[in-house]
């Protein structure tokens, strides 16, 4: 609680540049403490110790995936009751620990993320296929004209999708008219939507010309694409990752790209975020990178900000709906916070 008796919330990572959703919470009597802005350069993430110090006395945390909320953080914040996550994935939060401590966790599964991330994945496929990282204005300024590099086409290609959740299906839907064969691996599905062929993981990596990753991170799929997987891929294959960095063994990826074991990669997520500026990936000619911005649109960031704010208000007040990922934590809490004050 704040000194004024209002419940304090630390928005340790601010997502919506307008901050209108955070102002909305303040209007409802919530003491919102501003943390780091995701759009500021250079972006600084909180360490565990910094997060604990900044959030002392707070009943809630709001943020994206830049800072991990671990068991140690939760144990050090006895007042913490809610975590409102920006985005769909909650792999940056120890959900088991949250549930044990009676801390409700919410996320923001909404259509904006499906649309924007699906589009970004397709855009990255096309950008690598069309060699847009090579044929640039700088290339032209240096007198470049064509050369031996050739583009590829999605028509007739086999596009592999790892994970057929909402975004994986969104990618498939957007590619449905491209005259490509679409295969997918998802161990939780027994049948796929029309136009998609379910295959095992070995077949996925062996046959894909483009492999795009959209699985929800878990211990079971940590580094699912590793040196063994790259060894099975076509030398002409291209890997696209707009999911999570944990899905790929990036050390093996760097080696596969440097050795031309695969043709290229387009990456929006990394094993370390932000990545080191001297990461070898940035000097490889067969790599395109974006800074974890697949869901980064004006409408999208505002929609996710509002979704997270309304999730938090619903959890705190009991009013409205919250997209809670660990409802069993409610058993540890007898009532919403604002019904007690």
- Give a yes or no: residue 170 inside a domain: yes
Taking the alpha carbons at both ends of the chain, their separation in whole angstroms is 11
Residues 151 and 248 in one domain: yes
**Domain containing residue 92:** 8-110+297-339
Q: What tokens were used for 57? A: 């006395």
> Order of strands across the sheet with 264-267?
196-198, 181-185, 158-162, 210-213, 238-241, 264-267, 287-289
Q: Which of 236, 251, 244 is nearest to 267 (CA)?
A: 244
Q: Domain check: are 152 and 277 in the same one?
A: yes
| In a shared domain, residues 253 and 140 | yes
**Of the residues 166, 273, 332, 333, which is catalytic?**
273
Residue 308 included in any domain: yes
Q: Let me know: does 237 contact 101? Beta carbons within 8 Å.
A: no
In contact, 45 and 67? CB cutoff 8 Å: yes
Q: Are 22 and 307 in contact (CB under 8 A)?
A: no
Are residues 90 and 230 both part of a single domain?
Answer: no
Active site residue 307: no
| Domain-embedded: residue 122 | no
Which is the catalytic residue, given 81, 101, 169, 244? 244
pTM of the model: 0.86
pLDDT in tens, the chain (341 residues): 554 567 999 999 998 889 999 999 999 999 999 998 888 888 788 999 999 999 999 999 999 988 899 999 999 999 999 999 998 889 899 999 999 999 999 999 888 888 999 999 999 999 999 989 888 898 889 998 877 677 789 999 999 999 999 999 999 999 999 999 999 999 999 998 999 999 999 999 999 999 999 998 888 999 999 999 999 999 999 999 999 999 999 999 999 999 999 999 999 999 988 899 999 999 998 899 999 999 888 888 899 999 999 999 999 999 999 999 999 998 876 556 664 43
User: What backbone phi and psi angles, to 5 degrees, belong to 185?
Assistant: -120, 125
Domain with residue 221: its CATH number is 3.40.50.720
218 and 181 share a domain?
Answer: yes
Residues 170 and 255 in one domain: yes
Cis-peptide into 283, omega within 30 deg: no
Q: Are residues 272 and 171 in the same domain?
A: yes
Output the six-digit token pair for 176.
């449905």
> What DSSP designation does 169 have?
H
Has residue 291 been placed in a domain?
A: no
In terms of domains, do 188 and 276 share one? yes
Q: Is the peptide bond before 274 cis (omega within 30 degrees of 0)?
A: yes
The answer to whether residue 220 sits within a structural domain is yes
CA quadruple 161, 165, 168, 174: dihedral sign: positive
Asked whether residue 197 is assigned to any structural domain, the reply reads yes
For residues 187 and 152, membership in a common domain is answered with yes
Domain boundary among 262, 284, 306: 284
Co-location of 95 and 151 in the same domain: no
Contacts of 270 (CB under 8 A, 6+ apart): 245, 250, 279, 281, 292
Same domain, yes or no: 280 and 325: no
Residue tagged active-site, from 14, 45, 169, 292:
292
119 is annotated as an active-site residue = no
Count CB neighbours of 6 within 10 A. Answer: 16
Q: How many domains does the chain contain in total?
A: 2
Residues 63, 199, single domain; the answer is no
Torsion of CA 199, 200, 205, 206, to 10 degrees: -80
For residue 140, whether the previous peptide bond is cis, meaning omega lies within 30 degrees of 0, is: no
* Residues 11 and 34 sit within 8 Å (Cβ to Cβ): yes
Between CA 205 and CA 225 the distance in angstroms is 9
- Please report whether residue 130 resides in a domain: no
2 lies in some domain = no
């Amino acid at each position: 609680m704040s000194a004024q008796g209002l419940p304090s919330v630390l928005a340790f990572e601010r997502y919506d540049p307008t901050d209108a959703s955070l102002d909305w919470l303040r209007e409802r009597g919530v003491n919102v403490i501003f943390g780091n802005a995701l759009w500021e350069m250079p972006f600084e993430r909180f360490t565990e110790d910094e997060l604990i110090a900044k959030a002392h006395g707070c009943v809630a945390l709001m943020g994206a995936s830049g800072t991990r909320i671990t068991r140690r953080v939760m144990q050090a914040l006895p007042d913490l009751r809610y975590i409102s996550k920006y985005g769909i994935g909650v792999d940056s939060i120890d959900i088991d620990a949250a549930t044990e401590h009676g801390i409700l966790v919410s996320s923001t599964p909404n259509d904006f993320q499906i649309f924007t991330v699906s589009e970004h994945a397709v855009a990255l496929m096309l950008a690598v296929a069309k060699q847009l990282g090579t044929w640039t204005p700088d290339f032209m300024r240096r007198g470049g004209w064509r050369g031996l590099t050739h583009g590829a086409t999605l028509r007739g290609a086999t596009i592999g999708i790892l994970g057929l959740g909402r975004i994986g299906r969104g990618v498939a839907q957007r590619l449905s008219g491209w005259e490509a064969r679409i295969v997918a691996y998802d161990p939780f599905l027994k049948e796929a939507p029309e136009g998609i062929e379910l295959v095992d993981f070995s077949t996925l990596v062996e046959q894909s010309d483009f492999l795009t990753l959209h699985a929800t991170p878990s211990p079971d799929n940590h580094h699912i694409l590793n040196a063994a997987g790259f060894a099975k891929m076509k030398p002409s294959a291209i890997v696209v990752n707009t999911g999570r960095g944990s899905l790929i063994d990036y050390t093996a990826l760097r080696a596969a790209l440097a050795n031309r074991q695969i043709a290229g990669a387009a990456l929006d997520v990394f094993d370390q975020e932000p990545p080191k500026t001297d990461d070898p990936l940035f000097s490889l000619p067969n790599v395109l990178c974006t800074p974890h911005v697949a869901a980064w649109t004006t409408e999208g960031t505002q929609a996710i900000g509002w979704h997270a704010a309304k999730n938090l208000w619903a959890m705190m007040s009991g009013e409205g709906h919250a997209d809670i990922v660990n409802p069993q934590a409610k058993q540890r809490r007898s009532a919403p916070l604002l019904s007690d004050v």
